[in-house]
Each structure stands twice: as structure tokens, then as C-alpha cells.
Amino acid sequence: MTAIKICALGSVNLDMIIQTKTLPRAGETIAQGRFESLPGGKGANVALAAQRLGAQVELRAAIGNDDYAAQALRFLKEGGVDLSALVTIEHSHTGLAFINVADDGENQIAVASGANDAFKPAQISPIHADGIITQFEIPLETIQAAIDGFEGFVAINASPVVEGLEKLLPHASLIIVNEGEYEAYQSALQGYEGQLAITLGSKGAKLLKAGKIIAEAAPPKVDVVDTTGAGDSFAAALTTALMEGQTPQQALEFACTVGALTTTKLGTQAATPYRADVDKALGATL
């Protein structure tokens, strides 16, 4: 089967991760943490996840002219993601995320967007792909410029919550949200007739079409280390599976498995599973 071509449109970050026994409360300092820096950013996370799952992926994103960029792009380069269309913003830093992960896998994240916020519509050239996956860590007007007139599959992981989702709905083949995002977007999603995936954490996910549930799935049991990148890998997996022609039920089970496997390792891109690992896990649950 010929690999599908996906354009991942979104952010690039370098994740600064500190692991501590518990998450700090306001004003609290927790010592004896363990530090690691790893590539991240929702656009980059989705790009590598889709590539590892068998798609041919191009990343459209912006980086700063700094040392952080090389570190942030390391896994993408090693993984074979097409980076030829990356934009360098001279007077912005590469996006940075400061992540605190507790021993139970829960996390807190603060982001300094840098070049991601400076990624403007004028820097978007025509996209030649079978589909686009995007998220809201870059300006909505840049996303609008990319999907206007695009005739392929458009998946929107509507995270983090922003105003203006309704402007993108006419172009969307698939919207992906978690429970909190779904509640926040209730009014914006009124009348949306496309596919809508709602992730439910450890309970799995459900997929709706025109407001009616067409698939439900639960993830396999795993030992959770870090939940940080699960949502991004889920989005990449569901989009890839649906574009491959899997049924809604198969695609949702596939995505839930990918999301669960991502939580078994520290980091986002570093934890993203390969297709062979996912197929093995799915086979073990049959």
C-alpha cells in the first residue's frame, strides 16, 4: 500500500522536563527532581507520530534562529519527516515548554510560544498532500490560510482552547477534543456534521458523526509513566487510520492503543510508538 501523504501544520517546541514525586502547589518548591530536555510541540509531535505509523509526513512550522531549534528538530530529522518547508523567524526564539511530571504520570505545562506565534499566513505556500493535521499552538489565521481551498482530509485537534473554531468547521473532516475542550466548544460545535472524536483519558474515546456515536473504544492496560504526548499521538493515529480507509471502529481502537503506548515512556516524541509496536499490541488484545 502506498503511504498516505500528510502535512502536519503546527508548533515546534523544545520540552524542558522535570520529574518530581508530586506536582508543586502554588508557592511550593519541590527538590530532588530529575531533568531532561526533549523535542516537543504539538505540530512536531503529530508529524513524528504519523511518520512512525507509516505515513509520509511534511511538517509546516516555524522555528527561531537559535540553538534550541536543532535540539527540537532532532527526532524529526532522525525519523525522516520532511522539514524542507520550515520557516525560520530571525527575531523569535524556538518555542519552549516547561513540563513538570509527577511520579503518577500527571503533569503541568507552561509554554513560551516564540516563533510559533510569529508564524503568519504569508509564510504558508500551497500544500500538496492527501491530508492536513493541525492544532492551535499557531495563529488561527495561519491555519485558515492553509486549509482554505485545500481539497484533502483536514483533521483539527482543537487544543488548546481558543476562540474562532467555528470559522474552520466548514473545512474540517475531523475534529478531535478531550472532555474539557468539548465542553468549552459546545456552542462553536453546534451544527457540525463531520466526524468528532472525544478523548476520555483512561476510559478511551468515542467517535461521533453528525452528533451520533459511530464508534467507542477503550485503551489497553499499560503502566503509565507520562501522559504528556498521548493526545497528540492519538490525533495522529486516528487521522492516519481514517485516511488509510480503516472503519471508524478500527481507527478508534488503533488510536486508543497508540495513545496508551505513548504514556509508557517519558516525553512526547521520544515516547511515540512505531507501527510494528502498535500492530503487536492490537494483536495481543484480539
Active-site residues: which are they? 232
The residue written with cell numbers 510494528 in the block is 276
Read off the C-alpha cell for 119: 508564524
Query: What secondary structure letter does DSSP report for 91?
Result: T
C-alpha atoms less than 13 angstroms from C-alpha of 162 in its C-beta half-sphere? 17
- Other beta carbons within 10 angstroms of residue 164's beta carbon come to 13
Q: How far apart are CA 117 and CA 237, in angstroms?
A: 26
Q: How far apart are CA 216 and CA 203, in angstroms?
A: 10
Q: How far apart are CA 85 and CA 80, in angstroms?
A: 14
**Four-point Cα dihedral 282, 284, 285, 286, nearest 10:** 90
Q: How far apart are CA 9 and CA 58, in angstroms?
A: 8
Question: Strands, DSSP E only, in 159-227?
Answer: 174-178, 195-199, 205-209, 212-217
Instruction: Give the residue from 277, 276, 269, 270 showing the smallest Cα distance to 10.
Output: 269
**Secondary element (H or E) of residue 87:** strand 87-89
Count Cβ neighbours within 10 Å for each residue of 115-132 and write b for 16 or more, e otherwise. Answer: bbbbbeeeebeebebbbb
